[in-house]
Amino acid sequence: MKKVMFVCKRNSCRSQMAEGFAKTIGTGKIEVTSSGLESSRVHPTAIQVMEEIGINITDQTSDPLSDFDANNYDAVISLCGCGVNLPQEWVLRDIFEDWELDDPDGQPLETFHRVRDEIKEKVEALIKKLEA
């Protein structure tokens, strides 16, 4: 089973939503973790917009990338354009993508919904790519 790391600056919104989608859509297909260049908290609005579509991310935690070993992952996905700031071993995985999605933190609820839906589409495409 392929292992995926979603990484973002603070691991509070985008990477948490991606982890939630990947765990739900990718059940039995991939293993998934998320982390941040720094850890913070799971954003309450990210929890809210995921709950609206039936995905509970309240048990997820915000963890620093430094807690993990790049060699344990097949795919690394940056959600915020932070790829340029990642240690080289993370960028050199079999699959590396930098999705550069807008940061919904501090934005209206509509932005959270838009970013959530963009993440869902990208996660679905990623799972298909990993299964190929």
Q: Is 82 a catalytic residue?
A: no
Q: Residues 17, 37, 80, 101: which is the catalytic one?
A: 80
Q: Is 91 exposed, middle or buried (0-12, 13-18, 19+ CB in 10 A)?
A: middle
Q: Residues 4, 5, 8, 65: which is the catalytic one?
A: 8
Assign 36 to helix, strand or coil.
strand
Q: CA 16, 116, 79, 73 torsion: positive or negative?
A: positive
- List active site positions: 8, 80
